[in-house]
Structures are given as structure tokens and as C-alpha cells.
Amino acid sequence: MGSEITDNMKGLFPEPPVLQGERLVLRPLGPGDAKALSRFTSQTEVYTYLPTFLYEKRYGAQKVIENLYDEGLDESLILGIFEKERFLGLGEIYGFRCPIHKASVGYRLLREEWGKGYATETLRLLTKELSSRGIEIITASTMVENRASARVLQKAGFVLVNSGVDEDWGFPAPTSADKWIL
């Protein structure tokens, strides 16, 4: 990682990657994914764990997708999670800090896809990609009440390092989050 790379996500990912797993493909969202993204964000169980800055419902899904890889890539890299062509959810890399070789990962899946191992495979793909790009510190955050995601992170080798930390997830009040490190 040369001196030309900054904390801007575009320094780490000049182009959004396509990550191929055993069952899944993580790829940039395109115009044809707008309907699936709208359905995804309309699921209350999913939206509960979705930081508001990741997807503002006041904007149409098409508009969100159009901006994801321009100014949106300054802060985070969001990829669609697909099994073949079927949309399952979103994987995210955010919080890139070049000087300390750190980034954070996250994922969200359609409710009907929970418990099928997709989150675990998504984490493996994201962390492998980050490691291949020289990232040495990989972290994640979960809402304290999201025990299912805590189990997924533990299964993937993450260790809980702090619990109940107030974070700004875009909601009116701070979100109580657990902090994890790989």
C-alpha cells in the first residue's frame, strides 16, 4: 500500500470488486437490482439492523444504486450478495484507515435467507479480500440485541472486544453496539 492511498475507500478499491465464493457472488449493484433492494429495505426485521445512512428510504432504490460507486465509494463499499442471480442481501466494507491498515465489515440478508450460512460465507469473502489488499485489522459492529450476528462473527473467528458502546448509526438516539475484531 503506497503513500498515494488515503483513508478514502477509493484508494483501497479503485474499482468495485466481484468476489466469488462456493455458493455466493458479491458484486456491485446495478440498475436491474433496484426492485430487489427496495424489497430488502422494506423488511422490518432487516431494516431494524440497517444504519440509516446506508439506505435512506426517502430516496428511491434506483437513485441509491446510481450513487453507490461514485460519492458513496468515498466512505464504504457496498456489494450485493447473490446466489447465482438471486439477490440475498448486502455486504459492506467501511471505516478504512490506511495508516493502520484497518477496515470494518458488515452484512445484511433478506429475512428468509437467515440461518443458511450466507452471512458466514459473505464474511469469509470480505475478510479474504481485505487481507489480500494488505488490511491487517478487520473489525465489525453489531447491535447488542442482534445475537444471531454475534454468533456469525464468532463462527468466523471474530472476538468481542467491547460491549454496549454508543455509536451513531443515524437513528435519533445512539445505538448500543458490540465491537468485534478478527
In this predicted structure, what is the pLDDT of residue 55?
53
Long-range contacts (CB closer than 8 Å, 24 or more residues apart) made by 37-45: 37/61, 37/64, 37/65, 37/80, 37/87, 39/110, 40/87, 40/89, 40/90, 40/108, 40/110, 43/110, 43/111, 45/111
Residue 158 is classified by DSSP as -
Per-residue model confidence (pLDDT) at position 72: 60
Question: Three cell numbers at 135?
Answer: 488490511
Output the pTM of the full model: 0.84
What pLDDT does 57 receive?
Answer: 54
Under a CB-based contact definition with an 8 Å cutoff, are residues 95 and 79 in contact?
A: no
What integer pLDDT is reported at residue 36 of this predicted model?
87
Question: How far is 25 from 80, CA to CA, in rounded Å?
Answer: 8
* Cβ atoms of 105 and 123 closer than 8 Å: yes
Query: CB of 90 within 8 A of CB of 123?
Result: no
Domain 9-181 class in CATH:
alpha beta
End-to-end Cα spacing for the chain:
20
- What ranges do the domains of the chain cover? 9-181
- Using alpha carbons only, how large is the chain's radius of gyration in Å? 15
**Tens digit of pLDDT per residue, the chain (182 long)?**
444 445 677 778 888 999 999 999 999 998 888 888 888 777 777 666 655 545 555 457 777 777 777 766 677 888 999 998 899 999 998 888 777 788 899 998 988 999 999 999 999 999 999 999 989 999 999 888 889 889 999 998 999 998 988 887 777 788 888 899 99
User: DSSP code of 43?
Assistant: -
pLDDT for res 176: 83
